[in-house]
Amino acid sequence: MSNTSEFKRHRRLRSSASMRSLVRETKISTDDFIYPLFILEGTNVKNEVPSMPGVFQVTLDRLEEELKEIHDLGIKAIMLFGVPNDKDEEGTGAFIAEGIVQQATRKVKAVYPEILVVADTCLCEYTSHGHCGLIHNHDVDNDASLPLLAKTAVSQAEAGADIIAPSNMMDGFVTVIRHALDEAGYTNIPIMSYAVKYASAFYGPFRDAADSTPQFGDRKTYQMDPANRQEALREAESDVAEGADFLIVKPALSYLDIVRDVKNNTNVPVVAYNVSGEYSMVKAAALNGWINEKELVMEKLTSMKRAGADLIITYFAKDVAKWLNEK
């Protein structure tokens, strides 16, 4: 060509691995991750979740070995989910002092106090019907459920949780929990609200891990319609006004537009939840040799940060930490 000044040479900044790293706009580190853990009642049990290869349910006496690996990999935060033996209509196991998450929280703080404990605050793993609140007339009673959720949050804070993460999607849950925490003296405990939580088909493997499948109906009357975008902003704005310190968007991969919308329209940290179905699809394809797991996972998590996520809840946290440490 006679006149090469007529076009831009963008490839100059892609000429080598070092050059690409130098100008890379979005980077992943272990500081970005919150790793979910499923705590099982019983003794000496470590069960791999069949639909989530590499993810385990562990009993309290096996928790320390899991925590050591997490700590040694440089992962700084975990999210605790309880899998109790006994369930009832009210989800009593969620808020009693000797609940499985409360016991696990105390255990974490005793052996690795520097690990941040994010306590999932919901009733679904503890109710006999599998829904996230009290049932009246075959429906989830929003307002009657709020006091139990507040009670759960306070009990988790009392056990030593660093962050309360309510996932129930009841209207008003942030303000009720904030008031309850403040009245109990936990004014400095932040709320990581599942502000934007869609009624998604991507949750299937999680319900195996947490034993939380609804025994009737579904959760579409309280979780959001996947077709809706503006509703996500209304939910996010409400939770910030009620006192949320972080906002979770769940799921992440099919909702990156929502992650960006929430980031652009709020001024609190945004958390993307890379959910179980997103994890299991990749693991299944990798086990069949159909994809390069490492490259695909890194691309996927990078897309979540690029979309605006400040933090990522992901079951890939340990895998990615190992890959990063290899570098």
Q: Which residues are catalytic?
A: 197, 250
- The two beta strands, 246-250 and 270-274, are parallel
Give, in degrees to the nearest 5, the angle at Cα 52 between 303 and 164: 65
- Binding-site positions for Zn(2+) read 122, 124, 132
Beta carbons of 163 and 189 less than 8 angstroms apart: yes
Q: Which segments are annotated as binding site for Mg(2+)?
A: 235
The single residue listed with the structure tokens 């804070």 is: 157
Residue spans of beta strands (DSSP E) within the chain: 33-40, 46-48, 56-59, 77-83, 116-121, 135-136, 139-140, 163-166, 192-197, 246-250, 270-274, 311-314
Question: How is residue 278 annotated by DSSP?
Answer: H
List the binding residues: 122, 124, 132, 207, 219, 235, 276, 315
User: What b/e sequence results for 122-148 when a residue is b if at least 16 CB atoms lie within 10 Å of its CB, and e otherwise?
Assistant: bbbbbbebbbbbbbeeeebebeebbeb
Q: Identify the CA nearest to 297 among candidates 253, 259, 265.
A: 253
Known binding residues for 5-aminolevulinate are 207, 219, 276, 315
The pair of structure tokens assigned to 264 is 């652009």
Residue 164 structure tokens: 């309360």
Q: Is 57 exposed, middle or buried (0-12, 13-18, 19+ CB in 10 A)?
A: buried
Q: Going by C-beta distance under 8 Å and a sequence separation of 6 or more, which residues neighbour residue 182?
A: none
